[in-house]
Amino acid sequence: MCGIWALFGSDECLSVQCLSAMKIAHRGPDAFRFENVNGFTNCCFGFHRLAVVDQLYGMQPIRVKKFPYLWLCYNGEIYNFKQLQKQFGFEYQTLVDGEVILHLYNRGGIEQTASMLDGVFAFILLDTANRKVFLARDTYGVRPLFKVLTDDGFLGVCSEAKGLINLKHSTSLCSKVEPFLPGHYEVLDLKPSGKVASVELVKFHSCKDEPLHVACDTVEALPPGFDLETVKSNIRILFENAVRKRLMAHRRIGCLLSGGLDSSLVAAVLLKLMKEININYPLQTFAIGMENSPDLLAAKKVAAHIGSEHHEVILNTEEGIQAIEEVIFSLETYDITTIRASIGMYLVSKYIRKKTDSVVIFSGEGSDELTQGYIYFHKAPSPEEAAEESERLLKELYLFDVLRADRTTAAHGLELRVPFLDHRFTSYYLSLPAELRIPKNGIEKYLLRLSFEDSNLLPKDILWRPKEAFSDGIASVKKSWFSILQDYIDQQVDDLLLEKAAEKYPFNPPKTKESYYYRQIFEKHYPGRSSWLPHYWMPKWVKATDPSARTLKHYKSATQE
């Protein structure tokens, strides 16, 4: 996890512009570099480094002797860089996994480069010999990327929008800062003036398609067919492989553990594999919640079962409420459920950074979208519509859960790893017949649970534990986190303000005091940028006015039975 920033064709003094690059310093607390591009005095790169791999030669922009005309700034991890080296005979100059991007590009161009990378990434590649700039982002947008391109060809690129919104330019056209679409690459011509012109934006991978890099995967061809035992076995093989490849790190590995199915599976498989490869420190697991909250109790049980060094962070309501503004600033969104769920994750990340030496943090993001884990999937009219909704959620992850997971951890200089969003695992799961993937017997994620039933990785009651929304699971059952927030916010927002909300905020107008409160804070830091969120996250097929799972009829907590 790092922070990348680049400008092409700046009219303003670069020493002034680079102040904007410091807005993302939290993403790379270990080192910073600012570098001008030879021959293009108005083009530059900025890089904030979190040293996870190759601590000696890992600074960026990456340049190697073999390709002196290539400049690379990237944020991410490429898990198959050694397999690609073996397959194509690449000679690496550093131990940095991202160096493979230069070799792939030289060998087959940008299309092959983006398609062959197994990992999470956002990158800026400059080819001064052919006067091209390339931008690319991984399939699910696990690593963030924003850009601004003015009509006269000034380009700014950054890991977070906050590093672009205050850029200076001769025209007042710098307003259109927007997220770069996941699963895409863009080709831009670099003019002698340093300005650029967009040539094409190409979608190189869709979540349903088996990725091209399967050809050099460590797991070979899987048994075909959709009989249940074959499917269960393939799911276990691919998930374990997804966790194994993410063990690549020179810094200590930890794991978020809510006690729900997803994070518990990740933690259990992670600990098993760490023992297999003789990692000689205990796995630290981290849970946050109010005292006696469902998540804390379940997480403690899982940690005891798998044998991790478990840390509990007790959330008090005052601390949670005080964190709201800094969380919204970090997130760059005003989405209701994203903010709620981010408060706990932000505070547990803060604890990890201050109190431990774990830096590479595993988490369970992506499972709910992939395996139909949200409670409203029980209301899906048909398996086919449930499958379509699952794909829609995966495509929008970069606006919601993946955004939350990245920003809350990156704010504290941690690197997140999400095995459920492994390209091969997700494409296989989505290839299964729609009726196999739906909730069964009143239980969501039925197929995933069934696949691990005989593994003894988790206690049975955890494996079959009903879904808790993260923002709700950290609260006590009697009073959920969202109702605590609303009680506080009720005192902060006047009824009259809410009545006139649609006049003040015509785009995505707030419907509740809570959403109004979040919007006010967002507009304070990012005025006029409401289009970054196309729509609020809300459950489908139900008449919901609130995104919390607790407001749905199907929701039934264990202590209410």
54 in a labelled binding site: no
288 in a labelled binding site: yes
104 in a labelled binding site: no
CB 535 within 8 A of CB 508: yes
Judged by DSSP in three states, 400 sits in coil
Residue whose C-alpha is closest to residue 163's, from 204, 124, 117, 202: 124
Q: From the candidates 2, 158, 174, 207, which is the catalytic residue?
A: 2
Would residue 366 be called left, alpha or beta, if left means φ above 0 and alpha means ψ between -120 and 50 degrees?
left
Cα angle, residue 204 at apex, residues 68 and 127 outer, rounded to 5°: 15
How far from chain centre, in Å, is Cα 431?
A: 23
256 in a labelled binding site: yes
Q: Is 158 one of the annotated active-site residues of the chain?
A: no
Backbone angles phi, psi at 438, to 5 degrees: -80, 160
Q: Where are the alpha helices (DSSP H) in 2-55?
A: 14-21
Q: Where are the alpha helices (DSSP H) in 357-477?
A: 367-370, 383-395, 401-410, 423-431, 434-437, 446-451, 460-463, 470-473
In terms of C-beta distances under 8 Å and separation of at least 24 residues, what long-range contacts does 69-72 make, across chains too? 69/127, 69/128, 69/129, 69/130, 70/102, 70/105, 70/106, 70/125, 70/126, 70/127, 70/128, 71/37, 71/45, 71/125, 71/126, 71/128, 72/98, 72/99, 72/101, 72/102, 72/123, 72/124, 72/125, 72/126
Cα angle, residue 398 at apex, residues 393 and 400 outer, rounded to 5°: 70
Alpha carbons 542 and 448: distance in angstroms, whole number: 24
DSSP state of 440: B
Render the burial of 487-523: b for 16+ CB within 10 Å, e for the rest: ebbeeebeeeebeebeeebeebbbebbbbbbbbbbbe
476 in a labelled binding site: no
Residues annotated as catalytic are 2
**Positions at the binding site for L-glutamine:** 97
Q: Which residues are annotated as a binding site for ATP?
A: 256, 288, 363-364
Residues making up the annotated binding site are 97, 256, 288, 363-364
